[in-house]
Amino acid sequence: MVIFADADPQHHARKAVQAALEMIQRTAPLGVQFQGTFGSISVHIGINSGLALVGPTKLEGATGTRWTYTASGSVTNTAARLATLSDGGVVLVGPETARRVAGRFLITEIGQRQLKNITEEVMVYRILGQ
């Protein structure tokens, strides 16, 4: 998970999409380079924009207690579900991110999808490039 914070909502959405496209661009040659040595390398990316709860979280597990600093809430949950929905090398975004980056990136509408643990269907968009 990566959090892009900025006073300008359009700016951090654009930074997130640009970073996602660069990750895919840089990962593709690694898949070719290590083909046959490791399993396939693919990046599944989901981006969603909005307010998130950010702060320390206490995790209890078999190995003890640990703290992590994370973001949570419906915005991050939707982003995670979009990543699960995407194929390797594909960037999927929610409607708010699509609105914020419109005109800066090539976007196509995938359609409404029911995402796990999200009550209402979400309109899903795919980023095609710049």
Could you give the CA distance from residue 128 to residue 120 in angstroms, rounded to a whole number? 25
Could you give the CA distance from residue 50 to residue 100 in angstroms, rounded to a whole number? 11
Q: What is the pLDDT of residue 10?
A: 86
User: How many other C-beta atoms lie within 10 A of the C-beta of residue 23?
Assistant: 15
- pLDDT tens string 1-52: 788 888 888 898 999 999 999 999 988 888 778 877 877 788 999 999 998 8
Domains and CATH numbers, the chain: 9-129 (3.30.70.1230)
